[in-house]
């Protein structure tokens, strides 16, 4: 999968910052150019400070946009210095944002959607559900995280009229299991494979299991990769992941920021 589209870079004003848990924040920025063209699965690069440290921007999945109001919303968890700085931003302050970056989910001819997300991989799936006409699809949603606090937007998902399963590693919300367990249970029940697809975003071990299940049950899948990247435009070569080559044992490499972050079921070596 690959895509070509306009990119915009500008200083964006923070309209609203909401703390969702001890280390999780949701922030809304003014970015009208991006809000008009952004699509689910894409991301932005945010430079959190004009200082030399941290020098490089960080990637953030797009949680939602409002084209009428010209706003972009991201959701993130504090993992290091950059996200700690971003969490302390006050309404009215600005940051430098580049986007939209990356490719998007493809829903042509799909009728049955298995949506699987883990932790900070939840935003792209939420964005997708905000943009599609949900009654047109048979949707099964699977959300997993380490704890209840990491199961972002669970109340918003609960209010959606779709089939859904929640799991946490510690059992603090939903079932105490990996989210791929209820996914396999659903796949075992059967579906029209020609019209079904798994869309998934989350940590690499989860994506590897989703890939295995998709191959086992012969259902197509689109896997959105999370990885460290610095530039977002293919220059730094910092987001390389391996792909299957043209022969059985061959291997090639891809830049997630340019060629991804979404790959089809059999492309990735996980």
Cβ atoms of residues 195 and 111 within 8 Å: yes
Determine whether domain 8-101 maps to CATH 1.10.600.10: no
Q: CATH 3.40.50.80 residue ranges in the chain?
A: 112-226
Q: Minimal CA–CA distance to 201: which of 79, 115, 131? A: 115
Q: CATH 2.40.30.10 residue ranges in the chain?
A: 8-101
Between CA 245 and CA 158 the distance in angstroms is: 41
Between CA 186 and CA 65 the distance in angstroms is: 31
- Three-class DSSP labels, 224-242: EECCCCCCCCCCCCCCEEE
| CATH class of segment(s) 112-226 | alpha beta
Query: The whole model's pTM is what?
Result: 0.94
| Local confidence pLDDT in tens for the 270 residues of the chain | 445 678 999 999 999 999 999 999 999 999 999 999 999 999 999 999 988 888 899 999 999 999 999 999 999 999 999 999 999 999 999 999 999 999 999 999 999 999 999 999 999 999 999 999 999 999 999 999 999 999 999 999 999 999 999 999 999 999 999 999 999 999 999 887 789 999 999 999 999 999 999 999 999 999 999 988 888 889 988 899 999 987 777 789 999 999 999 999 999 999
* Other residues' Cβ atoms within 10 Å of the Cβ of residue 21: 13
Whether the bond between 100 and the residue before it is cis, its omega within 30 degrees of 0, is: yes
Cβ atoms of residues 127 and 64 within 8 Å: yes
């Amino acid at each position: 999968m690959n895509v070509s589209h306009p990119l915009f870079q500008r200083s964006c004003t923070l309209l609203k910052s909401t703390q969702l848990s001890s280390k999780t924040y949701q922030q809304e920025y003014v970015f009208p150019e991006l809000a008009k063209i952004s699509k689910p699965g894409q991301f932005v690069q945010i430079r959190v400070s004009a200082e030399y440290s941290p020098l490089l921007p960080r990637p953030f999945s797009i949680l939602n946009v409002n084209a009428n109001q010209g706003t972009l919303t991201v959701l993130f968890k504090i993992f290091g210095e950059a996200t700690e700085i971003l969490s302390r931003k006050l309404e009215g302050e600005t940051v430098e944002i580049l986007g939209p970056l990356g490719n998007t989910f493809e829903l042509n001819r799909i009728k049955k959607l298995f949506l699987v997300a883990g932790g900070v991989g939840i935003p792209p799936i939420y964005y997708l559900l905000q943009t599609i006409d949900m009654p047109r699809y048979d949707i099964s949603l699977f959300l997993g995280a380490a704890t209840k606090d990491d199961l972002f937007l669970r109340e918003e998902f609960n209010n959606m009229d779709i089939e859904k399963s929640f799991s946490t590693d510690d059992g603090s919300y939903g079932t105490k299991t990996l989210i791929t367990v209820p996914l396999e249970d659903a796949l075992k029940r059967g579906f029209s494979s020609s019209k079904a697809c798994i869309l998934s975003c989350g940590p690499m071990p989860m994506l590897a299991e989703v890939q295995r299940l998709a191959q086992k049950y012969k259902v197509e899948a689109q896997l959105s990769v999370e990885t460290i990247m610095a530039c977002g435009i293919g220059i730094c070569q910092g987001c390389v992941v391996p792909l299957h080559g043209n022969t059985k044992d061959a291997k090639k490499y891809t830049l997630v920021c340019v060629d991804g972050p979404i790959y089809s079921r059999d492309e990735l070596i996980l």
